[in-house]
């Protein structure tokens, strides 16, 4: 077996070079290995403000079961979590709290804005005096999931998109260049 083509390399993160009895040799980049590990173990924070939180719970429960994709359990403290799912609207009283929670998460951290409220203010965009018009006014958002509330499948799709995004990250190249 020779070195696989570039196309094949992109398809599988880890092309198998050769197989022996008792093991095989894998050739890959350090980036790919780290991202593979990271993207398959992203633990969300239990953070829910409004109705979307119920759909988030449904995703965590038996039928939809987000643990299939490596989003194993929701942690109650930001120090053990890797990502926030902003499920519901954020108002001006809550915004500093959200910012503090985000700051407490260890890097690398990711944010999914779930539902119209977190994306843009949703049903509370017009005439509401206390809702922040989109959670991205407070913290940076990686993935936006529209819907009021989004279906569990939509959130699962967002999880997959986030994994794709994590896999594209370059952690080491930059440092080597420097």
Partner 1 sequence: MAEFSEKYIITDEIKADEYLVNIGPQHPSTHGVLRLLTRLEGEIVHNVEPHIGYIHSGIEKMTEALSYPQIVHLTDRMDYLSAHMNNEAVCLCVENALQVEVPERVKYIRTIFDELQRLASHQLWWCASGMDLGALTAFFYGLRDREDILDIFEETCGARLTLNYSVPGGVMFDIHPNFQKSVKAFITKFRKKLPEYDKLLTDNIIFQNRTKGVGVLSKEDAIAFGVTGPTGRASGFSCDVRKHHPYSAYPYIKFDEKLGTDGDSFMRWKVRMDEMWESMNIIEQLIDNIPEGDFAVKMKGVIKLPEGEFYQRVESARGEFGVYIVSDGKKNPYRVKFRSPGFSNLFTINHIAKGWKIADLVAIMATFDLVIPDIDR
Partner 2 sequence: MKRGREIVGIVGKRKPDSVCKTSQRFDRMVNKKNKVKGNKDIGLSVTSRNKEVNLAQSETNQAMTNEQLIEQLTSANPDAVVKQGSQYPEITVAHDKLHAFMQNIKSDSSLAFDYLVCETGVDYPEFIQVVYHLESTSHRHFMVVKANTENRETATLDTVSDIWPTAEFHECEIYDLLGIRFNNHPNLRRYFLDDTWGHPLRKDFHDDIHVVER
CA distance between the termini of the chain: 35
58 scored as a contact of partner 1 (CB under 8 A): yes
SS3 51: coil
Comparison of 35 and 89: residue with beta carbon closer to ligand SF4: 89
Count Cβ atoms within 10 A of the Cβ of residue 138 and give its class: 0-12 exposed, 13-18 middle, 19 or more buried: buried
Residues 116-175 interacting with partner 1 (rule: CB under 8 A):
123-124, 126-131, 148-149, 151
Is there binding between residue 141 and ligand SF4 (CB under 6 A)? no
Dihedral angle sign, alpha carbons of residues 44, 46, 48, 53: positive
CA proximity to 42, closest of 164, 174, 171, 132: 164
Residue in 7, 21, 62, 126 binding partner 2, rule: CB under 8 A? 126
Which listed option, ligand SF4, partner 1, partner 2, none, makes contact with residue 115 (CB within 5 to 8 Å by class)?
Answer: ligand SF4
By a kind-dependent CB cut-off of 5 to 8 A, residue 4 interacts, out of partner 1, partner 2, ligand SF4, none, with none
Task: Count the residues of the shown chain that bind partner 2, applying the rule CB under 8 A.
Answer: 9
Residue 32 to residue 16: CA distance in whole angstroms: 14
Choose the binding region for partner 2 from 40-48, 109-117, 123-131, 164-172 (rule: CB under 8 A): 123-131
Site string for ligand SF4, 73-102 (x = CB under 6 A): ---------------xx-------------
**32, 61 contact by CB (below 8 A):** no
Contacts for 80 with CB less than 8 Å, ≥ 6 apart: 43
- Nearest approach in angstroms of CB 63 to partner 1 is 5
Rounded CA-CA distance 171/160 in Å is: 20
- Give residues in contact with ligand SF4 (CB under 6 A): 50-52, 88-89, 115-117, 122-123, 148-149
- Give residues in contact with partner 2 (CB under 8 A): 92-93, 125-130, 133
């Amino acid at each position: 077996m020779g070195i696989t083509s570039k196309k094949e390399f992109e398809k599988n993160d880890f092309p198998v070079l050769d197989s022996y009895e008792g093991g095989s040799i894998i050739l890959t980049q350090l980036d790919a290995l780290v991202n593979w590990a990271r993207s398959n173990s992203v633990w969300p924070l239990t953070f829910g403000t409004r109705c979307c939180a119920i759909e988030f719970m449904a995703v965590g429960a038996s039928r939809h079961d987000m643990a299939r994709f490596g989003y194993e359990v929701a942690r109650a403290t930001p120090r053990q979590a890797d990502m926030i799912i902003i499920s519901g609207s954020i108002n001006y009283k809550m915004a500093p709290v959200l910012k503090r929670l985000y700051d407490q998460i260890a890097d690398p951290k990711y944010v999914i804005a779930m539902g119209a409220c977190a994306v843009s203010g949703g049903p509370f965009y017009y005439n509401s005096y206390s809702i922040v018009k989109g959670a991205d006014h407070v913290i940076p958002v990686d993935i936006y999931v529209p819907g009021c509330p989004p279906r569990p499948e939509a959130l699962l799709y967002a999880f997959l998109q986030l994994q794709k995004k994590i896999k594209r990250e370059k952690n080491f190249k930059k440092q080597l260049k420097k």
